Amino acid sequence: MIDHNKLDVAVTASVEKLQSLFGTAPEVAVVLGSGWAGAVSHVRDAKNLSYAELPAFPQPKVEGHVNEIVVGKIGAQRVIFLRGRAHTYESGECTGMAGALRTLKRWGVRVLVQTNASGSLRGHMPPGSLMLIADHINAPQRSPLVGEQGSQRFVDMVNAYDAELRKHALALAKRENLMLGEGTYCWALGPQFETPAEIRMFAAWGADAVGMSTVPETILARHAGLKVMGIALMTNMAAGLSAEALTHDLTLKQAQMSGERASAFLAALVASLKEVAL
């Protein structure tokens, strides 16, 4: 459970640090999951800062995460990239990104774009496919808002993934001649991969992709008042849907293979958000 007094002090210090180094906040923040790191290469006038310099930010220890922010511009759109996220499976707590996201909101960020690497539950979205997240399933039924006070903790999740931002992303993908699916993401706690029986259950629930992140951050972001958009990169077929054994190395390998195209679309998407009323 969050110690709100300590977190508030850390958030205040983090906001002051960001303001002193970067001035006013970008409107858009992006959490980079596995396979998406190449988007940073599209940033102009990039300035980097380690999470270690920001007291409210986590120190995750997952291979493939750099644990730094990158602030700059893509096109005319200022943006902050978060290169690393805390996963619930690291500590058992699903509040790991609370400080970072509350810092972004207090600094002045308005939109959070989440990216991740996922397992596909649908044959029409093979490895390498991109899926716009329209909704999610919180399979562990864990909430980072447990212990919060007041009526704001009862967050409406009907439009958790902003409908207008999704519409914009689909239109951009069409203009770019890029196949962008849309579906429901299921959060599994991990770190073990799911069993074939669990995947069949998730599919019956209506899930189209499964992964070990994103949902706690979406809940935190909506509680903070941020608009959210999410995109999943399919790195494998989920358990029981192919003969391939699931490993973290496989996930990273496929993410690397598909990452250039995914990152290029993400960069174009960030730049295009200048056209949208955020």
- The catalytically annotated residue of 14, 236, 258, 272 is 236
User: Which residue in 188, 220, 189 sits closest to 207, CA to CA?
Assistant: 188
87 is catalytic: yes
Is 159 annotated as belonging to a binding site?
no
Is 53 annotated as belonging to a binding site?
no
161 is catalytic: no
CB 31 within 8 A of CB 115: yes
- The catalytically annotated residue of 117, 131, 169, 234 is 117
- The catalytically annotated residue of 212, 232, 234, 238 is 212
236 is catalytic: yes
- The catalytically annotated residue of 67, 129, 143, 213 is 213
97 is catalytic: no
For the chain, how many residues are written?
Answer: 278
197 is catalytic: no
34 is catalytic: yes
Two structure tokens written together for 169? 């992303």
- The catalytically annotated residue of 27, 29, 65, 97 is 65
CB 177 within 8 A of CB 77: no
- The catalytically annotated residue of 42, 87, 136, 223 is 87
- The catalytically annotated residue of 48, 182, 198, 248 is 248
- The catalytically annotated residue of 46, 48, 50, 90 is 90
63 is catalytic: no
CB 110 within 8 A of CB 78: no
Is 136 annotated as belonging to a binding site?
no
Is 34 annotated as belonging to a binding site?
yes
258 is catalytic: no
Is 164 annotated as belonging to a binding site?
no
Question: Which H or E run contains 134?
Answer: strand 130-138
What backbone phi and psi angles, to 5 degrees, belong to 100? Answer: -65, -45
User: Which residue in 133, 130, 96 sits closest to 228, CA to CA?
Assistant: 133
- The catalytically annotated residue of 10, 14, 34, 116 is 34
What gap in Å lies between CA 106 and CA 25, rounded to an integer? Answer: 9
Is 48 annotated as belonging to a binding site?
no
65 is catalytic: yes
What gap in Å lies between CA 210 and CA 140, rounded to an integer? Answer: 12
89 is catalytic: yes
What gap in Å lies between CA 68 and CA 43, rounded to an integer? Answer: 14
Residues catalogued as catalytic: 34, 65, 87, 89-90, 117, 212-213, 236, 248
Q: Which residues fall in the annotated binding site for phosphate?
A: 34, 65, 85-87, 117, 213
Q: Which residues fall in the annotated binding site?
A: 34, 65, 85-87, 117, 194, 213, 236
Q: Which residues fall in the annotated binding site for a purine D-ribonucleoside?
A: 194, 236
